[in-house]
Amino acid sequence: MSLLVEVFVREPDGDMRILDVPDGVYQSGGFESWRTTVWGSEFVRSLGARFLPVPAGQDLRVEPGDVPGFQREVAVLRSRLGDVARGERPQGDRGRTAPPPPVRAVAGPGAADGYEERAAGT
């Protein structure tokens, strides 16, 4: 089983409508075990992550107002991918993180409202 990342919009009645994924877009969030071994790991939490550790215990939904913070968190983790893959800080690192690279925000008419990460088949 694997984790899927879906993009959704909120309907006026509050229901969530998952959008179709464009051809060539990779929507995997990793293996199911990554909920705890990667995204829920102590190392990822030590980098200040608050969204991506959520799938360790439940499905993650990032609502529209939280998307900018989610994008910043992803940028920080992307800047430390080698360390995340090893699951530990490099020698001499005292928990400092590099500033996040710029992240393009999705905004404007027709933009997606949020993200959802869930186990495939749920």
Give dist(CA 122, CA 43) in Å, integer: 27
Q: Transcribe 62-94 into DSSP letters.
A: E-GGGHHHHHHHHHHHHHTHHHHHHTSPPTT--
Residue identified by tokens 């190392």 is 43
In which region does residue 47 sit, left (phi positive, over 0), alpha (psi from -120 to 50) or beta (all else)? alpha
Residue 11 has which token pair?
Answer: 């309907």
Residue 110 has which token pair?
Answer: 């027709």
Q: Hey, where are the domains in the chain? A: 2-87+111-119
Give dist(CA 32, CA 119) in Å, integer: 7
The pLDDT profile of the chain, 122 residues, written as one tens digit per residue, is 567 778 888 889 989 888 888 888 777 777 888 888 888 888 999 999 999 898 888 888 888 889 899 999 999 999 998 888 887 554 444 444 433 333 333 333 344 555 555 544 44
| Residue closest to 112 by CA, chosen among 46, 2, 25 | 25
